[in-house]
Structure 1
Amino acid sequence: MTATRSRWPVIAAFALVSAATQVLWLNFAGVTTVAAGHYAVSETAIGWLAQVFPLLYIVLSIPAGLILDRWFRAGLGTGAVLTALGAIIRLGGDGYGWLLAGQLVVAVAQPLVLNAITGISGRYLPEQDRPTGIAVGTASTFAGMVIAFVLSAILPRGDQLQLLLILSAAFAVVAAVILLVALRNEGEHRGSIVRGALRTTWNDRFIRKLCLLVVFPFGVFVALTTFSQALLEPSGVSGGVASTILLLNVVAGVIGCAVIPILVVRHRVEVRLLTTALVLTAVGCLVLAVIPGTVSGFVALAAIGFLLLPSLPIVLELVERRTGEAEGTAAGLIWLAGNAGGLLVAILTGLLVHHPFTAFITLAAVALIAVPGAWSLRPAVAAMRPPVPVDT
């Protein structure tokens, strides 16, 4: 019976570290101006404390995936330790240099953690529980974003920044210790080393199509998260209200990630959900273009978060099902493509930030471009499904 045992405590420990990486990434998202004044630097400099994460992810995603495929527990444990270490480094002094040094360490750790979402489910859960494990792991990343937004909301002043850093570091250290303890025991379901994992994975046309596909939803989400406040401001939406809208967007995404992927895999409607999410995201962006405002912002962005963010665990579950032991490398390719898409679409949206109508229309178009690609996945996804048992 042990061959089918689920090790949910390991998944929970991983979720804590995954959330911690996001907390540290977005610590200053809600207090950018205050932090710039406190540390006597520009707001752009504070922005770089977050921007180093996607930049380093693009560089390190594939190496991290290869490490996880070959030395999974050591690689993930290193990611957890570096996350905690980076958080501690930020406490070294009350200066910008310490912050940047700590952020760089955490940014190096992040691919080792996030690329392991599929791998930890594959090693510590039997096949029937893996979609749930991937959904939990993915939802934890968005939950970390929520924690970061809440912390900055309750500790908004310059004299509270040190407490903000201390609380974040405590969370990261505790999470790392819990995960290291949980990883003492090896997973029961996988363990073989894949030779030539990158070449094998990239030669899979299905994986290449998924990599291209995720560029678009990732890009739209990152652009909306980055520029919604600026794009809605001309319509009378204040910064405080915009922050609340974005918080609701991510909370809705957490709820969606915890519920939708499990139901989708159970009913075998993965492609239908991906297509629907892209179409309704485009509709939401069109609504914001035509009737921007507080009410439309709350409704559209909550709906987009609830439907679009669960696309990530669904894609990662398809990757895990397709690649098996090489899922670390495959997940690395997915995260690399997503982060690249986020940077590209965010840059494009930034160029249009003073033209909200055009910016929202552009984001709607970006979402719609991906619809044919998502729909074309149907034959490959259907071929990966196990046969339906027949009652006799």
Structure 2
Amino acid sequence: MNRWMHLAGYALLIFSSQILWVTFSPITTDVAKDMNSSVGGIGTLTALFPIVYIVIALPAGRWLDSHFRMALTFGALTVGLGAAARLIFPFDYTWQLVIQIILAVGQPFVINSISVYASRYFPEKNRSLAISISSVSIFLGVIFAMVLSPLLYANGGLMNVLIVFTIPSVIGMLWVTYTLVSVPFSSKVIIGNVSTSLSLLIRDKFLWVLSGLLAIGLGVFNTLSTWLEPIFLQYGITGTLSGPLLALMLVSGIIGSMILPTWAIKKDLRRFVGIITFTIAATAFFAIAMWQSILWIAFWFVFVGFFLLPGFPIIVDWTEKHFPKSQQGTAVGFVMLASHAGGIILIYLVKAFLTPPYLALGIFAFVNILGILLAFQLPKPNKQTSLSMGVPNHKKM
């Protein structure tokens, strides 16, 4: 079995971690009745994931750097066994809350290992593609859960949803644990002092720039996913239309994630892509605030998704190239921590300005303008990163 087949198992594990996160989101009202809970209580089952991620991100990254196999095995077991455990008491809210917390703790170990997995199992020429495939699995998992949860619930209730979502989770767990036990790393990894590594990392300005860019990019998407319906409803666009518009953006982003990162990295145009991405996004939200035709919104959402979502694999790949193998998990953990924190802040900021809707859209545009300014701080093509303050350039950018 070659390395690409093993990557398929890891991608399935990432995919599963996302469907377990979003399981209850599209069926909140129905599940509240099944569990004799409030709608807010069911919403908590989903909302706690980014909160737990912020707490666990750095410890998970440091463990991945020092004990990669053990840390990723832990993440795989939480996904597979956690999914199966939900079947024991499917209608007990307290039980499901405990299991969701366990799953939320395991998720950073799975996601933070994207660059670490690529660097340890793939030669340098294949790592960008491996990171892109792993990243796409995140978005596919969200789409799968958002679309399939309501359909599965309508044709078998909550138990049907939990059973179907358990299958890929257990397969992904077994596949990844087999890989970790049986497949050797492609290269040796020198493990440094973890405390020293963290101290150096937080003094690296380049890492802060990458963190800020991801916080804006994913923050905009997550906030849009949260408030798209109430924003557009004020323009007379119902949820039956806002949902497909968001799905259109996500599909466009998946396509972009398979094309744009490899091209941008090969041509050394990551800085250019970053500037163009936030310019398009800022323009899109200004344009939508001025005119709310469905086709007009769909047109802009296709472009926003195509450019915005590929920012994740590009940033993860850049992190892998900038930092040595002994620091990659911690570095990605730091970037992910910042992106989740930024997303939560943006969610509550937009919530305060939902009415009138042009204020919310204006905030999206303004945040993307900040992204443009931040993207200009990225190193120019074919130059060593001049932003590094505490961490030396380990690889040519």
Question: In which range does the TM-score fall when normalised by the shorter chain?
Answer: over 0.9
- Give deviations 1:117-175, integer Å, cap 9, x for gaps: 00000001111111111111111111111111121242243952210111111111111
Q: Does the aligned pair in 1 maintain the 2:269–2:381 contact within 8 Å?
A: no
Aligned to 1:7: 3
For the residues of structure 2 that align with 1:53 and 1:293, how far apart are their CA atoms? 34
Aligned to 2:65: 69
Aligned to 2:157: 160
Are residues 1:382 and 2:383 paired?
Answer: yes
Aligned to 2:370: 369
The residue matched to 1:235 in structure 2 has which SS?
coil
Are residues 1:186 and 2:187 paired?
Answer: no
- Give deviations 1:5-28, integer Å, cap 9, x for gaps: 972222221111001111011112
1:296-311 → structure 2 map (5 Å cutoff): 296-311=296-311
Q: Please tell me the residue identity of whatever aligns with 1:361.
A: G
Q: TM-score, normalised by structure 2?
A: 0.92
For the residues of structure 2 that align with 1:139 and 1:204, how far apart are their CA atoms? 28
Q: Please tell me the residue identity of whatever aligns with 1:88.
A: A
For the residues of structure 2 that align with 1:279 and 1:378, how far apart are their CA atoms? 18
Aligned to 2:237: 237
- Give deviations 1:228-258, integer Å, cap 9, x for gaps: 1111112222212222222222121111111
- Give deviations 1:317-374, integer Å, cap 9, x for gaps: 1110000211100000000000001100011111122321100011110111121211
Change (3 A) 1:156 1:242: farther
Q: Please tell me the residue identity of whatever aligns with 2:265.
A: V
For the residues of structure 2 that align with 1:8 and 1:90, how far apart are their CA atoms? 31
Are residues 1:19 and 2:18 paired?
Answer: no
The residue matched to 1:268 in structure 2 has which SS?
coil
Aligned to 1:223: 223
- Of the three residues 82, 85, 106, the one matched with 1:109 is 106
Q: Please tell me the residue identity of whatever aligns with 2:68.
A: F
Q: Does the aligned pair in 2 maintain the 1:223–1:346 contact within 8 Å?
A: yes
- Of the three residues 144, 149, 152, the one matched with 1:147 is 144
The residue matched to 2:346 in structure 1 has which SS?
helix
The residue matched to 1:30 in structure 2 has which SS?
helix
Aligned to 1:90: 86
* Cα RMSD (Å): 2.0
Aligned to 2:210: 210
Q: Does the aligned pair in 2 maintain the 1:118–1:134 contact within 8 Å?
A: yes
For the residues of structure 2 that align with 1:356 and 1:95, how far apart are their CA atoms? 38
For the residues of structure 1 that align with 2:237 and 2:302, how far apart are their CA atoms? 16
Could you tell me how far 1:309 is from its partner in structure 2? 0.5
Q: Does the aligned pair in 2 maintain the 1:215–1:342 contact within 8 Å?
A: yes
Q: Please tell me the residue identity of whatever aligns with 2:261.
A: P
For the residues of structure 2 that align with 1:330 and 1:312, how far apart are their CA atoms? 14
Aligned to 1:272: 272
For the residues of structure 1 that align with 2:29 and 2:212, how far apart are their CA atoms? 36
Change (3 A) 1:353 1:374: same
Could you tell me how far 1:298 is from its partner in structure 2? 2.3
Unpaired segments ≥5 residues, structure 2: 386-392
- Give deviations 1:55-114, integer Å, cap 9, x for gaps: 000000000000000011111111010111221222121122222112111100000000
Q: Does the aligned pair in 2 maintain the 1:135–1:313 contact within 8 Å?
A: yes
Q: Does the aligned pair in 1 maintain the 2:153–2:160 contact within 8 Å?
A: no
Aligned to 2:171: 174
Aligned to 2:45: 49
Q: Does the aligned pair in 2 maintain the 1:91–1:98 contact within 8 Å?
A: no
The residue matched to 1:382 in structure 2 has which SS?
coil
For the residues of structure 2 that align with 1:319 and 1:26, how far apart are their CA atoms? 27
For the residues of structure 1 that align with 2:235 and 2:258, how far apart are their CA atoms? 33
Q: Does the aligned pair in 2 maintain the 1:49–1:103 contact within 8 Å?
A: yes
For the residues of structure 2 that align with 1:232 and 1:204, how far apart are their CA atoms? 40
Identity %: 29
- Give deviations 1:207-241, integer Å, cap 9, x for gaps: 12222332222221111111111111122222122
Q: Does the aligned pair in 2 maintain the 1:143–1:254 contact within 8 Å?
A: yes
Aligned to 1:317: 317
Q: TM-score, normalised by structure 1?
A: 0.93
Q: Please tell me the residue identity of whatever aligns with 1:109.
A: G
Q: Does the aligned pair in 2 maintain the 1:89–1:98 contact within 8 Å?
A: no
Unpaired segments ≥5 residues, structure 1: none
The residue matched to 2:26 in structure 1 has which SS?
coil
Change (3 A) 1:306 1:179: same
Q: Does the aligned pair in 2 maintain the 1:66–1:197 contact within 8 Å?
A: no
For the residues of structure 1 that align with 2:301 and 2:396, how far apart are their CA atoms? 38
Aligned to 2:284: 284
Q: Does the aligned pair in 1 maintain the 2:268–2:381 contact within 8 Å?
A: no
Change (3 A) 1:167 1:334: same
For the residues of structure 1 that align with 2:40 and 2:351, how far apart are their CA atoms? 14
Q: Does the aligned pair in 2 maintain the 1:89–1:101 contact within 8 Å?
A: no
Are residues 1:37 and 2:33 paired?
Answer: yes
For the residues of structure 1 that align with 2:264 and 2:76, how far apart are their CA atoms? 31
Q: Please tell me the residue identity of whatever aligns with 1:168.
A: F
For the residues of structure 2 that align with 1:10 and 1:381, how far apart are their CA atoms? 33
How many positions carry a matched residue from both structures? 384
